[in-house]
Structure 1
Amino acid sequence: MISQAGLAAFDGSTSWAATASASAASLWDRVLGSQPHPAAWMVVATGVLALAVVVPHRPWRLARNTITIAHEGGHGLIALVTGRRLQGIRLHSDTSGLTVSRGRPSGPGMILTAAAGYTAPPLLGLGGAALLAAQHITAFLWLATALLIAMLLMIRNAYGVLTVLVTGGGFLVVSWLADPEVQAAFAYAVVWFLLLGGVRPAFELQTKRRRGQAGDSDADQLARLTNVPAGLWLFLFHAVSLCSLLGGGRWLLGL
Structure 2
Amino acid sequence: MDTDHITDLWSRVVGAQPAPSLWLVIATGVLALGTVVPRTAWRLSRNAVTIAHEGGHGLIALVTGRRLDGIRLHSDTSGLTVSRGKPTGIGMVLTAAAGYTAPSLLGLAGAALLASGHITALLWGATALLLAMLVMIRNAYGVLTVVLAGAAFFLVSWLTTPHVQAAFAYAVVWFLLLGGVRPPFELMGKRRRGSAGDSDPDQLARLTNVPAALWLGLFHVVTLCSLIGGGQWMLGL
Normalising by the smaller structure, the TM-score range is over 0.9
> Aligned with 1:48: secondary structure?
helix
Q: Structure 2: where are the runs of 5+ without partners?
A: none
Residue 203 (structure 2) aligns with: 221
Query: C-alpha separation between the residues in 1 aligned to 2:19 and 2:154?
Result: 21
Cα deviations by residue, 1:197-226 (Å, 9 ceiling, x for unpaired): 000000000000000010000000000000
| Counterpart check, 1:24 vs 2:6 | yes
Query: C-alpha separation between the residues in 2 aligned to 1:177 and 1:236?
Result: 40
Correspondent of 2:228 among 231, 236, 246: 246
Correspondent of 2:41 among 43, 59, 65: 59
> Aligned with 2:82: secondary structure?
strand
Query: C-alpha separation between the residues in 1 aligned to 2:91 and 2:16?
Result: 37
Q: How does 1:1-255 map to 2 (within 5 A)?
A: 20-255=2-237
Q: Partner amino acid for 1:28?
A: W
CA RMSD of aligned residues (A): 0.5
Cα deviations by residue, 1:69-108 (Å, 9 ceiling, x for unpaired): 0000000000000000000000000000000000001110
Query: C-alpha separation between the residues in 2 aligned to 1:44 and 1:146?
Result: 27
Query: C-alpha separation between the residues in 2 aligned to 1:107 and 1:116?
Result: 14
> Aligned with 2:19: secondary structure?
coil
Q: Partner amino acid for 1:77?
A: L
Identity percentage of aligned residues:
75
Number of equivalent positions = 237
Q: Structure 2 length normalisation: TM-score?
A: 0.99
Cα deviations by residue, 1:180-210 (Å, 9 ceiling, x for unpaired): 0000000000000000000000000000000
How far did 1:120 drift?
Answer: 0.3
Structure having the higher Rg: 1
Q: Structure 1 length normalisation: TM-score?
A: 0.92
Query: C-alpha separation between the residues in 1 aligned to 2:112 and 2:210?
Result: 32
How far did 1:139 drift?
Answer: 0.2
How far did 1:20 drift?
Answer: 1.1
Query: C-alpha separation between the residues in 1 aligned to 2:131 and 2:157?
Result: 14
